[in-house]
Amino acid sequence: VLELQESAAEMFGREAALFVPTGTMGNQIAIRLHTRPGEEVITEARSHVYNWEMATMASFSGCLARPVHAEQGRLTWSSIERALSPPVYYRAQTGLITLENTHNMAGGTVLSLDRVREITAGAGRKGLPVHLDGARIFNASTALGLSPAELARGCDSIMFCLSKGLAAPVGSLLLGDRDFIEEAWRIRKMLGGGMRQAGILAAAGLVALDTMIERLSEDHENARILAEALAEIGLFQIDLESVQTNIVLVAMRRGSSAEMVSEMRSRGILAVPFGPREIRFVTHKDVSRQGIQTAIALLQDLSRDKRFN
Ligand SMILES: Cc1ncc(COP(=O)(O)O)c(C=O)c1O
């Protein structure tokens, strides 16, 4: 576990790291440490911390989310600045800004280095911390051809997941300076995340860091091939510009996503409904190029089904 934490900290050029069982726990520990009860957290409207983490920022940290909608999930400093609380005693104060890179609900879109820098510089001028939900930060750094350390520079804390594109069975890392991680250790214990014989999980995490990052570009190529074929087949609406990493987000032209996902499953294609009309496809280590070609052929077949066309 210590080796994994040290490797992760070194990879991001940070003082320390903490192994946590889930990305959600890592994000919520960070929110707890950066804020005080009664403060607001500025976050993108479709972010994971706001939509998928069980209102924990409210129940555990006593904070209110201040969601800001951004095109393709990409916040700008000017949109964040407009959402900051004025420094008056009768308004809840902004305590934290969170970023998500890549952005899951927006379809795996990438926040560019310029955008990250613009936001962290703005936050710095206001004395506000920035937490990066980098569950898929390696997909972002692969897409941009940058090191994850460079892409995350300026963020006060970072969470990344071993268990998504990096294919480990369990675990995420929370990174920051030494004092922050020391406190995070306490909060993790409070949440029941102080695991005992976790070395076997950390070992898989080390394999993930050693062997799974370089191959992410294959997932991105596979996602692109799938997306372009789906645009041709015409079964779904798809914005090809938003397909930048390993996620392909589509919308039904006709019929419900639940019905489509169930039909696809019966034919051997696994995807998830991402709303009443939306479906998310994800490429990963266990999806081969051949698998993508097979899925395309099956979807071509499915496009003749009157329920969906
Ligand atoms: C952007 C993002 N952040 C955080 C998480 C949380 O990770 P976990 O499921 O390990 O709690 C996810 C999971 O899907 C995610 O997509």
In DSSP notation, 90-107 reads TSPPEEEEEEESSBTTTT
The CA distance from 150 to 147, in Å, is 5
**Residue 104 near ligand 1, beta carbon < 6 Å:** yes
Indicate whether 19 pLDDT > 90: yes
Structure token digits, residue 177 = 């300076």
Ligand 1 centroid – CA 81 distance (Å): 26
Confidence of residue 41 (pLDDT cuts 50, 70, 90): very high
Per-residue pLDDT tens for 152-168?
999 999 999 999 999 99
Confidence of residue 55 (pLDDT cuts 50, 70, 90): very high
108-120 average pLDDT score:
98
Query: Whose structure tokens read 């560019």?
Result: 112
Helix (H, G, I), strand (E, B) or coil at 277: coil
The CA distance from 260 to 252, in Å, is 8
Q: What's residue 306's pLDDT?
A: 87
Residue 265 burial class via C-beta count within 10 angstroms: exposed 0-12, middle 13-18, buried 19 and up? exposed
Structure token digits, residue 38 = 């009664």
* CA-proximal residue: ligand 1, atom 6 (nearest): 23
How many other C-beta atoms are found inside a 10 Å radius of the C-beta of residue 211?
12
Name the average pLDDT for the chain: 97
The CA distance from 73 to 92, in Å, is 25
* 199-211 and 2-11 helices, crossing angle to 10°: 30
Quick one: which atom of ligand 1 is closest to the CA of 100?
1
The CA distance from 30 to 296, in Å, is 41
The CA distance from 194 to 19, in Å, is 9
Quick one: which atom of ligand 1 is closest to the CA of 24?
11
Q: What's residue 240's pLDDT?
A: 97
**Residue 100 near ligand 1, beta carbon < 6 Å:** yes
**Residue 161 near ligand 1, beta carbon < 6 Å:** yes
How many other C-beta atoms are found inside a 10 Å radius of the C-beta of residue 119?
25
Confidence of residue 309 (pLDDT cuts 50, 70, 90): confident
**Residue 48 near ligand 1, beta carbon < 6 Å:** yes
Tell me which amino acid residue 309 is.
N
Would you say 213 and 112 are in contact if contact means Cβ atoms under 8 Å apart?
no
**Residue 135 near ligand 1, beta carbon < 6 Å:** yes
Buried b (16+ CB within 10 A) or exposed e, 162-171: bbbbbbbebb
The CA distance from 239 to 8, in Å, is 34
Per-residue pLDDT tens for 210-247?
999 999 999 999 999 999 999 999 899 999 999 999 99
The CA distance from 198 to 208, in Å, is 15
Confidence of residue 79 (pLDDT cuts 50, 70, 90): very high
pTM, full prediction: 0.98
Between the CA atoms of 171, 176, 179 and 185, what dihedral angle is there, to the nearest 10 degrees?
A: -10
